[in-house]
Structure 1
Amino acid sequence: MATTTENERKGPRPAMQRPPIVSPQAWEAARAQLLVKEKAQTRARDALAAERRRMPWMAVDTGYAFEGPAGRVGLLDLFDGRRQLIVYRAFFEPGVFGWPEQACRGCSMVADQVAHLAHLNARDTTLVFVSRAPQADIARLKARMDWKMPWFTLTDRFDADFGVDEWHGTNVFLRDGNRVFRTYFIKSRGDEQMGGTWNYLDITPLGRQESWEDSPEGYPQTAPYKWWNWHDSYAADAAPDQRWVEVSEAGEAAFRNGQPGT
């Protein structure tokens, strides 16, 4: 017996107003025209990231505490020995739609988009999620959804003090020895761009740490492309493969020459 589909129950769709159908040459011309604006947007984004790297820092003097898989830890521990820390406040706790089987649908979409953490780690940056759910529930959810990011339980006013007590948001911190500074914060639609390695690095105080970036003097920078690696092959003492050096130098040349797509 035939069944009624969801689209059939909704009725016929209104006719979609299509753009013009053109020749390959006209399509390429329209693409080239739009590319001018896209390049301008890319350069504006880079300039904004450079301005972000010059924002003032706020000292964090409160000893915030979290529960992790191995017990209670402090904010410094969340850095996991690295210099930069990105903290996303996800909603997974009593009262959230989906509890206890699932976390907030929006926060779960953010979690689904997180790239492999090895690339952030290679830039001295740690990403963690925090929620008010107990660790047992977090571990169960991570296993079910195949999420790999470290995820800690909030125990105090951290979320209220950093603007994420009643809404999701991403805070960025930098560690200088045992001192911690808050350097940036986004929420609402700002979180839409998160997930990719580049976008995470662009909101950090040190940026991508590549030599083409406009950063304050003394900031760590290495040649672009050279540090990239397979996520299971990063090692602090590993020399770049010569074949990758040749490929990356060709990419750098294209970048400098402003070839299409850069």
Structure 2
Amino acid sequence: MTNSPENNQAGGQPAMHRPPIVSPRAWEAARQALLVKEKAQTRARDALAAERRRMPWMAVEQTYAFEGPAGKMSLLDLFEDRRQLILYRAFFEPGVFGWPEQACRGCSMVADQVAHPAHLNARDTTLAFASRAPQADIARLKARMGWTMPWYTITDGFDADFGVDQWHGHNVFFRDGARVFRTYFINNRGDEAMGSTWSYLDATPLGRQETWEDSPAGYPQDPPYKWWNWHDRYTAEARPDPNWVKVSNAEEAAFRKLGAGPKA
């Protein structure tokens, strides 16, 4: 076992003190020891998401107005007839560094991380961005950067009312008919973890909607893995696909045998 500093110093940087170099057996033992802590962190994250699903809701009483590609839209319209909406306030407007060619660098990194929205849509959830830039500038930026998420223009005091007038953040809403409720808010370093289908769903009041989750009674839930699909096939195939059910059942059984399933 060795533990010596790197001899070569590139660019005048201090020597890098590397971790010990060990045998494959010792490396695997170290990985297994750390895996115990990683699993504990995963279970703690699951428990936190379960607590989030029991957060009280705040009724949104005011009607907010946005501009979209087709014209004026309300906050209710942004749901696209789904029950859940995750709305990220991205800084793209006069005064932002890079305007008008670029949006905020941090917000642009968030946009680059966004997973394909079809998986969220399959869970009755819409993801959208909102800024104060006009729609023409938003369309130009999206086309150049290859972004496809819905992106709306804020036209009133929505950003100030929901904590995103001076900084970025994800507001989560739930729609019950014509009524809208604010259910959660993520900002600051919390935004760093957003982007995956799972991080978005864990922020919503309904969660991933899988049977292993600890959710209040009456919440929609399906068996894990069964609702998954290719992003271009959700509306083309009946769910769950019987062949995929067989495959996912076998995979789930193997994961549980190894202690790696959803409840492991």
Shorter-chain TM-score: what band? over 0.9
Code of the residue aligned with 1:179 in structure 2: it is R
CA offsets per residue over residues 1-22 of structure 1, 9 Å max, x none?
xxxxxxxxx9322211000000
CA distance in 1, matches of 2:132, 2:259: 48
Instruction: Give the TM-score normalised by structure 2.
Output: 0.93
Structure-2 change in CA distance of 1:236 and 1:182 (3 Å): farther
Distance 2:70 2:260 in 1: 49
In the TM superposition, residue 250 of structure 1 has moved relative to its aligned partner by 2.1
- 1:4 is aligned to none
On the 8 A contact 2:91/2:107 being kept in 1, the answer is yes
Equivalence for 1:68: 68
Q: 2-side partners of 1:11 and 1:206: how far apart?
A: 51
The 3-state SS of whatever aligns with 1:11 is helix
| Aligned residues of 2:92 and 2:104 also touching (Cα < 8 A) | yes
Residue pairs, 1:131-210, within 5 angstroms: 131-210=131-210
Q: Distance in 2 between matches of 1:201 and 1:52?
A: 11
SS at match of 1:219: coil
Contact 2:227 2:239 (8 Å CA) reproduced: no
Q: How do 1:22-171 and structure 2 match up within 5 A?
A: 22-171=22-171
**Higher deviation after alignment, 252-261 or 131-140:** 252-261
Counterpart in the other structure of 1:242? 242
Q: Which amino acid is 2:59 matched to?
A: A
Q: 1:98 to 1:60 in 2, by over 3 A?
A: same
Counterpart AA for 1:197:
T
Against the structure 1 CA distance between its residues 115 and 67, is the aligned structure 2 distance closer, same or farther, given a 3 Å change threshold? same
Aligned CA-pair RMSD: 1.4
1:181 Cα offset (Å): 0.2
Structure 2, unaligned runs of 5 or more: 1-9
Hey, what's the Cα distance between the residues in 2 that align with 1:256 and 1:124? 28
Task: Give the partner amino acid of 1:209.
Answer: Q
- Cα distance, 1:242 vs structure 2: 3.1
Task: Tell me how many residue pairs correspond in the alignment.
Answer: 253
One-letter identity of the residue aligned with 2:238 = A
Q: What are the Cα deviations for residues 52-103 of structure 1, in whole angstroms up to 9, with x where unaligned?
A: 0000000001000000000000000000000000000000000000000000
